Amino acid sequence: MMGTFEGGDEDNDNKKPSNVIRLKNYTDDPTGAPQFALDALNNLNKEIGLVPELGIKQSEVDEEIDHYLKLATTNGISVLEDELEKIQMTDVIVNQENKEEIIQRVGLTTAYLRLSGYDV
């Protein structure tokens, strides 16, 4: 099952903070993984823009993208799909403590989308 991340809402019923990226499920279909990756990347970029104090550098993201592209070249794109499934199972709070995790997620989703034919 693939899904997408969506930002929280300060006034939600669960009283969770707005800087948590949560999973929204999709039905299983052939476009599930690319749609999940695209939505996740868009939401990550949106949340990163709201927290500029993270100080994420493009060079850090590029390193992660290269890592995942090489991983897929060596082991196949299914390795990235497995990683996407793992990240869909966990929320991530967009803050300094999770900076590395956020960079990894942006790198993973970007690499997967590029390999899937998306221009990101």
Q: What is the mean pLDDT of residues 6-35?
A: 56
Q: Give the chain as a 3 state SS string.
A: CCEEEEECCCCCCCCCCCCEEEEEECCCCCCHHHHHHHHHHHHHHHHHHHCHHHCCCHHHHHHHHHHHHHHHHHHCHHHHHHHHHHHHCCCEECCHHHHHHHHHHHHHHHHHHHHCCCCC
- The model carries a pTM of 0.77
Mean pLDDT of the chain: 83
- How far does the chain reach from its first CA to its final CA, in angstroms? 23
Domain boundaries, the chain: 3-115
Q: How confident is the model at residue 32 (pLDDT cuts 50, 70, 90)?
A: confident
pLDDT at 72: 98
Considering only residues 71 and 20, tell me which one the structure prediction assigns the higher pLDDT: 71
The predicted pLDDT at position 106 comes to 98
Average pLDDT for 56-75 = 98
pLDDT of residue 31: 65
Residue 21: predicted pLDDT? 53
